[in-house]
Amino acid sequence: MKLIFFGPPGAGKGTQAQKTSEEFNIPHISTGDILREAVKNETELGLKVKDILERGELVSDDIINKLVENKVVDMDSFILDGYPRTIEQAKFLDQALEKANKEIDAIIMIDVSEEEIVNRITNRRVCPECGKVYNLLTLKPKEDMKCDLDGAKLIQRDDDKEDTVRDRYRVYKKNTEPVIEYYRKNKKIFTINGSKDIKDVTKELFNILRGASSDDNN
Ligand code: AMP
């Protein structure tokens, strides 16, 4: 299956994409994770995008498109999480997939209000070693502030602080909501209420995906 996950920052996209990736054995491509890894490793790309990520702004379409293109054209299944985020990126992806004779099977939109997002993201912590995501309200580590997988001390991403979260939400409204409207014209978009319990969101999501994949086989 080839999937796109949409939703404002903090809607639970990354968490749900991780779960979907494990359940259906589909590679998870998160442009945010790729960029954060580049920043951490201080690669040429990382140095170029560091300030942009810290401000919660968007990295240029050129950079992002190149990152994604090499991956998706060779893959038979993937979950795109955090891409496309602008109309230009969506058009680029369409063309790249068309050239490779591929098509997106389902688009999932996980929807949550701004206030809930601010509440959630400011409580989000991540493991700096393996990238596992926690939430101090809903998805606590077993041991205080330590990663369940490798014991590393959890940290708060700079772009998870309140002012930046509100900026990122504004960026999402301005740039990414039009992308959803762009897809709505010729694709079915499945919308899930992301303010429910994580487990309930996952259940609804998996039901949708099982339906979408059985449609595929018919
Ligand atoms: P995320 O974890 O998906 O919220 O991404 C974190 C940050 O990476 C964003 O705030 C942007 O600065 C950058 N980023 C990730 N994906 C994209 C994209 N498709 N287009 C532009 N910037 C992106």
pLDDT digit string (tens) for 157-180? 888 999 999 999 999 999 999 999
Q: Which 3 state secondary structure label does DSSP give 195?
A: coil
Q: Percent of the chain having pLDDT more than 70?
A: 97
Residue with the smallest CA separation from ligand 1 atom 15 is: 32
- Is 124 catalytic? The answer is yes
For all residues of the chain together, what is the average pLDDT?
Answer: 92
Q: How far apart are CA 15 and CA 172, in angstroms?
A: 18
What does the pLDDT read at residue 9? Answer: 87
Atom of ligand 1 nearest to the CA of 33: 2
Contact 209, 106 (CB under 8 A): yes
Give yes or no for residue 217 having a pLDDT over 60: no
Predicted TM-score (pTM) above 0.95: no
Q: Percent of the chain having pLDDT more than 90?
A: 80
CB contact set of 17 (below 8 Å; sequence gap of 6+) = 5, 28, 30, 79, 81
- Is 157 catalytic? The answer is yes
| Mean pLDDT of the 76-99 span | 95
Residue with the smallest CA separation from ligand 1 atom 6 is: 32
Beta strands at 133-135 and 124-126: parallel, antiparallel or unpaired: antiparallel
Atom of ligand 1 nearest to the CA of 52: 12
Position 218 confidence tier, pLDDT thresholds 50, 70, 90: very low
Atom of ligand 1 nearest to the CA of 171: 10
Position 214 confidence tier, pLDDT thresholds 50, 70, 90: low
What does the pLDDT read at residue 215? Answer: 60
| Mean pLDDT of the 132-142 span | 91
Q: How far apart are CA 204 and CA 132, in angstroms?
A: 22
> Residues lining ligand 1, judged by CB closer than 6 Å?
9, 31-32, 35, 52-53, 56-59, 64, 82-83, 85, 89, 159, 168
Position 212 confidence tier, pLDDT thresholds 50, 70, 90: confident
What does the pLDDT read at residue 35? Answer: 94
Distance from residue 75's CA to the centre of ligand 1 (Å): 21
Residues β-bridged to residue 80: 4, 29
Give yes or no for residue 138 having a pLDDT over 90: no
- Decide which of 150 and 57 is more confident: 150
Position 129 confidence tier, pLDDT thresholds 50, 70, 90: very high
Give yes or no for residue 192 having a pLDDT over 90: yes
Half-sphere exposure of 176 (CA within 13 A, CB side): 22
CB contact set of 196 (below 8 Å; sequence gap of 6+) = 204
**By C-alpha distance, which of 208, 125, 212 is closest to 160?**
125
Contact 38, 59 (CB under 8 A): no
Q: Give all strands (DSSP E) within the chain, no chain letters.
A: 2-6, 28-30, 78-81, 106-111, 124-126, 133-135, 189-193
Q: Which of 146, 157, 161, 187 is catalytic?
A: 157
